[in-house]
């Protein structure tokens, strides 16, 4: 047998060694890559509703003729999407409709026919509010920054504690109202009840002797400014489409003075006749068999009216609860403008928001002439909302003018007690 040269043995050994380390290294790389894929966080696909940076609390301000009106906006983002809340302490009200496309957030209130559009650039916001007003749509500039302060990031020490009840004198007619305020440090919150209704939840501060309060509920926007001097408040109230000088008001501690949450009128037992359409075209009349021998409550309101929204929160469940006892409710809406299609859309959105179990009818526009034509001797409507109570005999028994909403606390409780007492009394009567 012929022997194998030593050089050939060395070459084979080298190739075997190289192959061994090559496959060992490749195995290690594959194992390491597998581990990396197991522990690596997956990359989420970019979608319009996943735009980062919106979540948190923002200080948004509307540019009113009389000054800046601030309010709080809380935005939440999770797997379910984007939600938002208006913050007017202590109220935290969920926005009806929210959409997010890129850096633009659109907040909508279909029951008002209004919206707020905001575009984010870092921690700053710019945009505009589209509000519903008697004169038509109104556009108001808006801006915002990230934060939870209202008027001042560092207000001065308050000159006094103004918590409590204040008797208010408001406007050119010197109407009487009641302010109920709560103060903690420099923070102030509360409500103001006027003959036309309450102004909902107010939040702000007393910085030194300067009182600043504001509220925004998606459409209604008011700013109250005053100076505290010698135990009295003197200032002005501003609205989104009002004047630069505002409406003057003064206030002093109320003491034992009281303001009624609603005004009760005794119209004299006349009969009311009407026939108005719902959005489906069906007309509803008090002469319909459904209302014969029933106690009928007729609410007079409109989708534009913030106090009507507060009344609807109470009225829907109340009507459903007492219907089996013989109570029926009809809503007569008076909406601005000649566009019936728009009016019915607002009415339907309003009804859906509060899950109202009774018909809402388009009765006209909120003008003295239109409401007088709709209600005859009971018109014109002076305050929205107002409520007409009809007994089982078909005659008008009482009219309640105005409403005190949940922001007014004890006044709201009193308004609901008075309402319930009237309905209960009429239900006990025989047809």
Q: Give me the percent of the chain exceeding a pLDDT of 90.
A: 80
Is position 34 within any domain?
no
Does residue 276 sit in the same domain as residue 234? no
pLDDT digits (tens, 9 = 90+) for 33-57: 443 443 444 433 334 444 458 999 9
Does residue 430 carry a pLDDT above 90? no
- Domain end marker among 92, 116, 146: 146
Alpha-carbon span 194 to 178, nearest angstrom: 7
pLDDT of residue 46: 38
pLDDT digits (tens, 9 = 90+) for 353-402: 999 999 999 999 999 999 999 999 999 999 999 999 999 999 999 999 99
What is the 3 state secondary structure string of the chain? CCCCCHHHHHHHHHHHHHHHHHHHHHHHHHHHHHHHHHHCCCCCCCCHHHCCCCCEEEEEEEEECCEEEEEEEEEEEECCEEEEEEEECCEEEECCEEEEECCEEEEEECCCCEEEEEEEECCEEEEEEEEEECCEEEEEEEEEEECCCCCCCCCCCCCCCCCEEEEEEECCCCEEEEEEEEEECCEEEEEEEECCEECCCEEEEEECCEEEEEEECCCCEEEEEEEEECCEEEEEEEECCCCCCCEEEEEEECCCCCCCCCEEECCCCCECCCEEECCCCCEEECCCHHHCCCEEEEEEECCCCHHHHHHHHHHHHHHHHHHHHCEEEEEEEECCCCCHHHHHHHHHHHHHHHCCCCCEEEEECCCHHHHHHHHHHHCCCCCCCEEEEECCCCEEEEEEECCCCHHHCHHHHHHHHHHHHHHHHHHHCCC
Q: Give me the percent of the chain exceeding a pLDDT of 70.
A: 88
Does residue 233 carry a pLDDT above 70? yes
- Domain end marker among 253, 288, 312: 253
Is position 43 within any domain?
no
Does residue 107 sit in the same domain as residue 184? no
Does residue 355 sit in the same domain as residue 268? yes
Q: What is the chain's alpha carbon radius of gyration, rounded to the nearest angstrom?
A: 32
Is position 169 within any domain?
yes
Alpha-carbon span 272 to 264, nearest angstrom: 18
Can you say whether residue 38 is alpha, beta or left, with left for phi > 0 and alpha for psi between -120 and 50 degrees?
alpha
Q: Is residue 87 a contact partner of residue 232, using CB atoms and an 8 Å limit?
A: no
Does residue 318 sit in the same domain as residue 356? yes
Q: What is the mean pLDDT of the chain?
A: 89
Helix axes 410-428, 306-322, angle to 10 degrees: 40
Across 20-24, 27-31, 234-238, the highest mean pLDDT is recorded for 234-238
Is position 302 within any domain?
yes
Is position 24 within any domain?
no
pLDDT digits (tens, 9 = 90+) for 238-286: 999 889 999 999 999 998 878 888 899 988 788 999 999 999 999 999 9
Tokens at 176, concatenated: 């009487």
The domain that contains 169 carries what CATH number? 2.40.128.120
pLDDT digits (tens, 9 = 90+) for 144-192: 999 999 999 999 999 999 999 999 999 999 999 999 999 999 999 999 9
Alpha-carbon span 222 to 225, nearest angstrom: 10
Does residue 200 sit in the same domain as residue 314? no
Domain around 139: 48-146
Is position 159 within any domain?
no
pLDDT of residue 60: 98
149-181 per-residue burial string, b: 16 or more CB within 10 A, e: under 16: ebbeeebeebeeebeebbbbebeeeeebbbbbb
Does residue 18 carry a pLDDT above 60? no
pLDDT of residue 79: 85
Does residue 271 sit in the same domain as residue 420? yes
Does residue 244 sit in the same domain as residue 272? no
Q: What is the pTM of this model?
A: 0.85
- Domain end marker among 253, 286, 315: 253
Does residue 23 carry a pLDDT above 70? no
The domain that contains 315 carries what CATH number? 3.40.30.10
């Amino acid at each position: 047998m012929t022997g194998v040269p030593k050089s050939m043995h060395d070459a084979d050994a080298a190739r075997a060694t190289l192959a061994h380390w090559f496959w060992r290294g490749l195995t290690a790389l594959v194992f390491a890559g597998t581990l990396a894929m197991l522990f690596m966080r997956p990359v989420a696909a970019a979608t319009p509703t996943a735009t980062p940076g919106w979540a948190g609390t923002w200080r948004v301000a509307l540019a009113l003729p009389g000054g800046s009106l601030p309010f709080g906006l809380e935005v939440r983002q999770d797997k379910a999407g984007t939600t938002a809340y208006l913050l007017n302490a202590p109220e935290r009200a969920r926005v009806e409709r929210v959409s997010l496309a890129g850096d633009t957030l659109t907040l909508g209130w279909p029951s008002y026919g209004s919206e707020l559009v905001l575009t984010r650039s870092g921690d700053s916001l710019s945009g505009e509010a589209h509000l519903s007003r008697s004169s038509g749509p109104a556009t108001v500039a808006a801006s915002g920054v990230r934060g939870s302060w209202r008027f001042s990031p560092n207000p001065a020490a308050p000159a006094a504690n103004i918590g409590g009840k204040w008797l208010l004198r408001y406007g050119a007619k010197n109407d009487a109202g009641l302010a109920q305020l709560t103060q903690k440090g420099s923070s102030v919150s509360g409500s103001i009840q006027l003959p036309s209704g309450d102004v909902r939840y107010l939040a702000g501060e007393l910085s030194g002797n300067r009182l600043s309060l504001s509220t925004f509920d998606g459409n209604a926007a008011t700013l109250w400014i005053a100076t505290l001097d010698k135990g009295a408040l003197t200032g002005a109230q501003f609205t989104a489409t009002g004047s630069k000088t505002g409406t003057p008001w003064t206030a002093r501690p109320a003491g034992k003075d009281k303001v009624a949450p609603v005004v009760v009128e005794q119209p004299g037992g006349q009969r009311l006749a009407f026939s108005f359409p719902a959005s489906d075209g069906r007309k509803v009349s008090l002469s319909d068999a459904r209302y014969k021998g029933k106690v009928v409550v007729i609410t007079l309101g409109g989708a534009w009216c913030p106090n009507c929204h507060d009344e609807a929160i109470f009225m829907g469940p109340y009507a459903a609860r007492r219907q089996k006892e013989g109570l029926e409710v009809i809503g007569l809406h008076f909406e601005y403008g000649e566009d019936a299609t728009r009016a019915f859309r607002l009415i339907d959105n309003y009804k859906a928001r509060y899950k109202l179990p009774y018909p809402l009818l388009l009765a006209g526009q909120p003008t003295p002439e239109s409401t007088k034509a709709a209600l005859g001797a009971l018109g014109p409507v002076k305050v929205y909302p107002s409520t007409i109570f009809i007994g089982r005999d078909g005659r008008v028994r009482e009219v309640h003018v105005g409403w005190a909403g949940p922001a007014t606390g004890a006044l709201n409780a009193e308004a609901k007690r008075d309402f319930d007492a009237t309905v209960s009394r009429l239900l006990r009567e025989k047809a």
